[in-house]
Amino acid sequence: MSHFTTVQTKIQNLMRLELVLKELGFAYTRAQAEQLVHVKGYLGQKTQAQMVIHASKTYDIGVNVNAETGLVTFVADWEFVEMTAGFNQDEFTRRINQRYAYHTVKEEVQKRGYTLEEEKVDEENHIHLKVASWSE
């Protein structure tokens, strides 16, 4: 029998997370007006979350923000997400964290007055950014 499992991340900016989800092609629903949304699991089991990522037609990934730390956690019935969506918990969190870090770095580079000159992705899917500063 499957069950819901929670994974903590270092993600703190929900708007940036939404950007990443859109970029990776995930549909999601964010709770409105302090309400929670339902996260679907095995045999109709449900849990609640502040946002739900629609991983497949039958299984979801919930997103919650810890009020004390501001950190995001993902909750899902990962066994069945993997079976129906084709990715596991580690792959999902790695992809989300990588794109989240990418956008965080790009935003910080711009804030500090640097320009992005070059961007490469190597054969191991590592992202390499080359930035420059125009100092006087």
pLDDT tens digits along 85-112? 999 999 999 999 999 989 988 888 888 8
Question: Model confidence at 6, in pLDDT bands (50, 70, 90)?
Answer: confident
Please, what sign has the CA dihedral across residues 96, 97, 102, 108? positive
**Cβ(102)–Cβ(127) under 8 Å?**
yes
pTM, two decimal places:
0.83
Alpha carbons 86 and 69: distance in angstroms, whole number:
31
DSSP conformation letters of 38-101: EEE-GGG-EEEESEEEE-SSS--EEEEE-TTT--EEEEE-HHHHHHHHS--HHHHHHHHHHHHH
pLDDT for 65 equals: 87
Residue 16 — pLDDT band, cuts 50, 70, 90?
Answer: very high
Residue 134, pLDDT > 70, answer no
**The pLDDT value given to residue 74:** 93
Is residue 115 a contact partner of residue 108, using CB atoms and an 8 Å limit? no
DSSP class of residue 4 equals -
What is the percent of the chain with per-residue pLDDT over 70, rounded to a whole number?
94
26-83: pLDDT as tens digits: 999 999 888 999 999 998 899 999 999 999 999 999 999 888 888 899 999 999 999 9
Supply the pLDDT for residue 2: 56
103: region left, alpha or beta (phi > 0 left; psi from -120 to 50 alpha): alpha
Q: In this predicted structure, what is the pLDDT of residue 18?
A: 95
Structure tokens at 128: 């390499």
